[in-house]
Amino acid sequence: MQPDTPVTYVKGIGPKRAEVLEKTGITTFLELLYHFPRRYLDRRTIMPIAKLKIGSEATIVAKVLSMNMVRTRKRSYFQLLVGDDSGQLRCVWFNGAKYIQKIFKPGDAVAMSGRVEFYGGLQFVHPDYDILESDDYATLHTARIIPLYPSSMELKKVGLDSRGFRRQFHKIFETLPWQVTEIIPREILERLKFYDINRALRQIHFPDSATELDRAVRRFKFEELFFLQLLLAVKRRSIKEVRKQLRYDRTGVHLKRIYEKLPFELTDAQKRVIHEIWNDMKSETVMNRLLQGDVGSGKTAVALLCASIAIGNGYQAAVMAPTEILAEQHFRNLHQMGKPAGITVRLLIGGQKRSEREQILAEIENGVAELIVGTHAIIQESVAFQKLALVIIDEQHRFGVLQRSQLIEKGINPDVLVMTATPIPRTLSMTLYGDMDVSVLDELPARKGKITTRIVNIDQLDRVYEYIRGRIQRGEQAYIVYPLIEESAKLDLQAAIQGFEYLRDRVFADFRLALVHGGMKTTEKDKIMHCFSNGTVDILVSTTVIEVGVDNPNATIMVIENAERFGLTQIHQLRGRIGRGEKNGVCVLVERKRNEASHQRLRIISDTTDGFEISEQDLKLRGPGEFYGTRQHGFPKMKIADLLIDKELLKLARSEAFMLIKADPHLRRAEYSGTREHLVRKYSEYMNFVDVL
Ligand code: ADP
Ligand code: MG
């Protein structure tokens, strides 16, 4: 058997099973072998019913004694009474009773896992269950660890339920004299003392002991992380292989002129990061760098100073923002800050007059425009640059919109700096941005104004509004933000509009309020934002995060409605908008639906202002899904490794993978052929044409 032998060659897998397996992504022998147990029954982890502790998670092995539907006036449910030598326990299903009912029959040996509750007796509600064969039941009393396999309705129909898989794998391991090719380089396995693939496969399916199982799992976790990092190492190498056409030998006069006229002293972090970027710019290979910096850490100044180096050397630079409003803000700021060096800054966005646009396009092409500001469209559309050397992407909290391959396809390969305001925990940036070099602005400029964050409930709203009135009367301004969650965008928008009308007509009738939301035309939004910036609007009501991404140092108050519906990082970003001037800012989180979990989350945000700390906590609470979603650029989902838990293995996998690619960039050596083949076989869909091995 070879790794890519079709499953149909496996004894016991006919065309029907093969068809269903294919739907779950299993077509080859190796893929079948990687259908790992989802859990195990180990004699030592099974609890006798009499010893169960209320509130704990536990697994029992017992016999079905009786089963029946119970109908009360309120609801009906299915109950199953099971018992072992020590006692009895009730299992209850409120949902899916019809289906569950058909699964069990009295006398069945079952394994049940769940949270132990007490309700007139011990019970599990909606436990995780498996039906055991009589010989499983027997073997559990000897020392075996029994694997339980994930399955689905369709798989069950062709006999591949947990038991079916167990039989199938048993057959494979007991009867076939096979060996699969190792995919991790031998030297790594030996040095780090990981199990080889054949031993690990056997032990993960049919562990001889808990220790053997741990070793097997460890190997597969490492393997998964290792290939992920290998993929990233290859991507990074393919970028680094590109030689620059443009050369820098000095920082140029522009940098000095702008630096000297800055209204503030750069923080040490800003200086350090500029040096890191400058080193990349000087290097012979192109830059692919991520700059992480909390809201207010001063990324714009860094961007401008780096752009001024490029421009001082006779090249062009581009700054791209995720929205037109932000592009305009960058344009104004950069234009202002770039004046001492006489830099020609041009804004390119939709909605400009045709003649104006043509003029700008011509200037970009003939080189008059030195710094071009716009949205991502400037790189995607047919804009011809004369000598584009540096692209700076201000992503705010949105990632991965632009990929380097898009640039290369356009026939240009500038240095790329991606700036993000979401502090990404290190474990995640190692994968999400594992193909980039990372700089961190870990110091905030000293500010006069401080931000306090308060959680309030609706009963306290009147007092909050009263407080806001007072501050507006003193000439300050406020934001009121409503959630807009994609799945329920329509309802959310309605709620925001109603909230706005209520505030305008009832609460703040004597002030000037305006509403801005994502569904509005850009010109309309711009007009409103402009009114807020110049003070003709006192309170800006808005829906999405993007719309408030604009600076207004006079805005000191932010009310976040239904705060429990926002992500922590999102709230942190939002509140970074206030307290930018000299006065103290106040962020009020209105908690409308209180539950313990969401309240805990909001407490985190009111207790700390450190963006890294917050995202670390957010990650713990919500898992990495949210963060993955933010980078559209696909990369493989982890099946067995957990990026949060397996941090040490991740670091190890990363250093091994990067070392390997450094030693043999294309994995051409004979001893790496298994590794290379596996990478191509399994991960080619995550590579693009520039990443060729
Ligand atoms: P962000 O990193 O969120 O993009 P900005 O670049 O918009 O932050 O900077 C936020 C504010 O801080 C701006 O008003 C900017 O002028 C100011 N700023 C930037 N660097 C410094 C500094 N070193 N000292 C004082 N203020 C600074
Ligand atoms: Mg910014």
Residues 30 and 55 in one domain: no
| 260-313 confidence digits (pLDDT tens) | 999 899 999 999 999 999 999 999 888 989 998 888 889 999 999 999 999 999
Number of domains making up the chain:
4
* Structural domain for 264, as ranges: 253-283+298-420
Q: Is the CB of 445 under 6 A from ligand 1?
A: yes
Ligand nearest to the Cα of 294, by number? 1
| Residue 127 lies inside a defined structural domain of this protein | yes
| Residue 605 lies inside a defined structural domain of this protein | no
pLDDT of residue 401: 45
Mean pLDDT of the chain: 88
Ligand nearest to the Cα of 323, by number? 2
From CA 220, how far away is CA 520, in angstroms rounded? 50
| Residue 466 lies inside a defined structural domain of this protein | yes
From CA 294, how far away is CA 422, in angstroms rounded? 6
Domain CATH for 103? 2.40.50.140
Q: In this predicted structure, which of 23-37, 149-163, 210-224, 433-447 has the lowest mean pLDDT?
A: 433-447
Ligand nearest to the Cα of 267, by number? 1
Ligand 1 centroid–CA 249 distance in Å is 29
Which residues 6+ apart lie within 8 Å of 233 measured at CB?
Answer: 434, 435, 657, 658, 660, 661
Residue bearing the CA closest to ligand 1, atom 19 = 298
Ligand 1 centroid–CA 504 distance in Å is 33
From CA 76, how far away is CA 490, in angstroms rounded? 35
Helices (H) and strands (E) in the chain, counts: 26, 22
**Of the spans 19-33, 372-386, 516-530, 611-625, which averages the highest pLDDT?**
19-33
Ligand 2 centroid–CA 41 distance in Å is 53
Best residue among 265, 297, 392, 609 to mutate for probing ligand 1, ranked by most atoms within 8 Å of CB: 297
Ligand 1 centroid–CA 33 distance in Å is 54
Ligand 1 centroid–CA 555 distance in Å is 16
Residues 62 and 169 in one domain: no
pLDDT of residue 632: 43
Best residue among 258, 262, 295, 300 to mutate for probing ligand 1, ranked by most atoms within 8 Å of CB: 300
Ligand 1 centroid–CA 446 distance in Å is 10
Exposure on the CB side of residue 607, measured as CA atoms within 13 A:
9
Domain CATH for 479? 3.40.50.300
| 486-515 confidence digits (pLDDT tens) | 667 788 888 899 999 999 999 999 999 999
| 203-221 confidence digits (pLDDT tens) | 999 999 999 999 999 999 9
Exposure on the CB side of residue 164, measured as CA atoms within 13 A:
16
| Residue 92 lies inside a defined structural domain of this protein | yes
Ligand nearest to the Cα of 573, by number? 1
pLDDT of residue 133: 79
- In ligand 1, which atom is closest to the CA atom of 441? 2
From CA 572, how far away is CA 606, in angstroms rounded? 10
| Residue 674 lies inside a defined structural domain of this protein | no
Residues 34 and 51 in one domain: no
Residues 28 and 52 in one domain: no
- In ligand 1, which atom is closest to the CA atom of 270? 23
Residues 378 and 488 in one domain: no
Q: What are phi and psi of 532, to 5 degrees?
A: -70, -40
Residues 512 and 564 in one domain: yes
Residues 263 and 367 in one domain: yes
Residues 372 and 260 in one domain: yes
Residues 493 and 584 in one domain: yes
